[in-house]
A and B are shown apart, each in its own frame.
Chain A
C-alpha cells in the first residue's frame, strides 16, 4: 500500500456503520468477533466485543497494508498521561525485522529467504483455516454451541486467545482496547509516561 495509507483514519467505517476489515473477509471478521466474544465475554464490565479485540487481530494480520507496518507503536508516550501522541507514529522496520514479521504473519510461502530453517505456516493461513473450521454457522449458534466448537479446536483457540488478551489489554494504538475499556475494567492505568507516579503513590497503600 502507498505511504499515504498512513493518513487514512485508522478506524475506517463503511456507510452502514460497520468497520471495514483490513485483512479478514467480512464473514471471517464476524466469526472472529463472535469467537473473541466467547473467549473474553463482557460480564458486566466490557469484554472483547466492546474493546474491539477483533480489530486488534485484523490490524495484526493486515499490519503490512500500512506504512510503516503496524508492528511496533512509537514512543516515548501516548498522550494519555500528558505529552505528545508518540505511540501513533509506528516504527519503521529494519530488513531483518520485516523478514521476521512478514514470515510470521504471511508464512514463508515458498520464498527461499524465509525458509532458511524450512517452511513456516503464517498466522494469516492459521486464521483462515481456523475460522473456516469453526463453521459457516458459528455466528448463528447459541453461546453454549459456540463454546463447544471452540473447545473442539484447542490449537487454533490457543492462538486466538493469546491475541485476544493482547487486544483486550494492549495499547489502543494496536487496534483493540477501544478507549482503554480493557484497562478501565481491571483497575490498570495503562501507560503513564510522562506523568508517572509520585513517591507517595508508590509507597502508600
Chain B
C-alpha cells in the first residue's frame, strides 16, 4: 500500500494534520500504537461508547494506556543516577486513538505574544537555551482561530485582560462555573488578580453534531462518555468522513524508512505482531514529545539535538482545606484560571534578583481540580479513622486547589533518549527521560507558591500547603514530573545547527518528515500546550498540502 501521507499518532496534532491533508485531497493512513476506544470501529465517523464515569478503569487500570508493564519508560534526574533510577510510568500521556486529547479536561488557552519571543522580551538565562520562536503570535493567530472553531472552544473574549489579541470571539460561551470557582475567583479578584473562564474544548451548547457537556464531573483523566469534549474526536470524525483516510490502531511504528534525504515510508507492527512496510510521500510524526524523539532515534536520525530541551510544566500546587463542602464531583473539574503569574512584574523581578536570575516567570493558574474518591482514600491511613476521614473529606470535597503550570526553561541536558537496557513488550528500547528543573523554575515556584496560598486563605481556607511536581530535593514528592505537558524535543528553528525542524515542522535534511506535535516548541510558556500544537500542526500540514490559510 502507498499513501500520500502516513501520520504517526492520532492525538490532537496528528488528527489536525490528517484533517488538513484529507481536505486537500490527500490519502492518509493514521497509525496509533494504542487501541481505538474513541470511534465506532464499524463506522469511524461515529463516536464509540467505551468511555465512562469509572475511576477504576481510567485511574487504576490504564484504560487509555500506556500500560507501564508492557510499555514502560525510564527516568533519572541526571547521569549521576546511572542508567536510570525509575522504571515504569513516566509522563503517561495517553497512548490511545485520540491521544492526549482524550484524557484532558480540555483547557485550551492560547499563548501570549511574548511567549514566541522570550529571548527578545526578557533576555538570556545562564544554563538555559532561551530562544525566540521562528514565528510570531501574529503568524499563528489565524490558525488559533481556525482550530478553535474546528474543535469547538467555549470561552469569553475580553474576560482575560492579560490575553493576547484575537481576531474574533470564541465559538461558544463558557459553561457553568464550578461552585468552588465562584468563591476562589471572587477571592482572587479581591486580591487584585484577574481570573476568567478557562477556554475549554467542551461544548457549552450543542456544537458540530455533538451534545452540550452535562457536567458529569468525570472530566480530567477521563474520556468523555457523551463526546462533548471536542478534542480530537471532532477532527477525526471529519477526517474519516472524507473517505480518504484509514486508521491502523494497536499498530506500532517502529521505524521511518529513510534513504538519503528522503523518507520512503514506515515500518509497522500490527496487533498480531506482524511487521509490514507502508510507502508514503510524507511521514507526519505526531507521537508526542516523548515518543516522537524515540521514533526518530529508533529510525537512525542523527541530529544531536533530537530529544534534547525536554520541557514539562513545573507545577506548583497550593492546597487548602475548608469548613465547607464544594461538591467538586459536579462540573468540569477546572472552569477558571488566572494568568497574573505569567507577568514579569516588579515583585517577580525582585524574586529573580534574590535567586541570582535576570527574571522569573510562572504560568497559568488553574482553580480547582477533579474529585476522585479512590485517589482520596489512598491518601488516608488505614484503620478506624479511615471512614471518618472519607466522610469529612478534607482531601476531596472540602479541598480547593490552585495549580500553576509554571514555565519550564529549555535545557539541553533535559532530554529523551533510548534506554540502554529496558525494552517494551514488542522488543524495542523504551524512552528514557533525564530531567532536572532549572533554578528558574524553583525560584518562580518559591515566589508564586505563597501568592497562591494567599488566595486560598482569602477564600477561607483553614489549612494550606504547597507542593511541587517534580518534587524538590528533600521533599516527599516524586522527582518524576506528573505534568502531562511535554514539549521541546525536536525544537524548531531556521538554523539546522540549533534546531531539529524548520518553521514548517520539516526535519532539517529530510524534509518529507514533518513533526506535528509539541516536540517542536522552542519554549514552554506557562500554558497548556494543546491549542498551540494544534495550530502549529494545522500550519505545517497547510504548508505540506499547499493550502495555507488565506489561500
Residues of A within 8 A of B (CB): 38-43, 45, 47, 71-78, 86-87, 91, 94-97, 99-100, 103-104, 113, 116-117, 120, 147, 150, 157, 161-162, 164-166, 168-171, 174, 182-183, 185-199, 201-205
Contact = CB atoms under 8 A, between A and B. Distances in A.
Interface string B382-409: 1110111011010001000000000000
Contacts of B386: 39-41
A170 B55 contact: yes
A202 B331 contact: yes
A43 B388 contact: yes
Interface string B263-275: 0000000011100
A75 B217 contact: no
Contacts of B56: 73, 166, 170-171, 174
Contacts of A202: 176-179, 215, 330-331
Given A73-B57, A197-B216, 13 more contacts: A40-B386, A42-B387, A75-B50, A75-B225, A77-B53, A78-B52, A94-B250, A161-B378, A169-B390, A170-B60, A187-B397, A191-B53, A203-B178
B373 A188 contact: yes
A117 B214 contact: no
B271 A95 contact: yes
Contact of A165 (B67, B377, B393): B377
Nearest to B213: A196
Interface string B53-81: 11111001111000101111000000000
B49 interface: yes
- Residue among A97, A113, A150, A157 with the highest chain B CB neighbour number at 10 A: A97
A95 B424 CA distance: 14
Nearest to A93: B35
Contacts of A39: 382-383, 386
B483 to A, nearest CB: 23
Contact of A194 (B70, B177, B226, B273): B226
Secondary structure at the B interface, as helix, strand, loop or mixed, is loop
Contacts of B374: 165-166, 169-170
A196 B182 CA distance: 20
B425 A96 contact: yes
Sorted nearest first, the 5 A-B pairs with minimum C-beta distance are A196-B214, A191-B53, A75-B52, A76-B225, A199-B176
A86 B330 CA distance: 22
Interface in B316-334: 324-325, 327, 329-331
Contact of A195 (B50, B214, B327): B214
A94 B250 CA distance: 8
A43 B384 contact: yes
Given A87-B52, A95-B273, A202-B176, A41 B226 contact: no
B218 interface: yes
B537 interface: no
B257 interface: no
B391 A185 contact: yes
B423 interface: yes
Contacts of B373: 169, 182-183, 186, 188
Contacts of A183: 373
6 contacts: A75-B49, A166-B60, A170-B54, A171-B55, A196-B215, A198-B215
Interface in B186-222: 213-218
B427 interface: yes
A150 B382 CA distance: 10
Given A197-B331, A203-B182, A99 B70 contact: yes
B97 to A, nearest CB: 12
Contacts of A185: 387, 390-391
A42 B422 CA distance: 44
A71 B57 CA distance: 8
A119 to B, nearest CB: 13
Given A168-B377, A203-B176, A197 B217 contact: yes
Nearest to B183: A205
Contact of A197 (B49, B324, B330, B382): B330
B422 A117 contact: yes
A169 to B, nearest CB: 4
A134 B57 CA distance: 30
B52 A201 contact: no
Nearest to A71: B61
- Residue among B51, B63, B178, B388 with the highest chain A CB neighbour number at 10 A: B63
A101 B216 CA distance: 29
B179 A100 contact: no
A96 to B, nearest CB: 5
A57 B300 CA distance: 45
A171 B58 CA distance: 12
Interface in B6-58: 35, 49-57
Contacts of B425: 96, 99-100, 113, 116
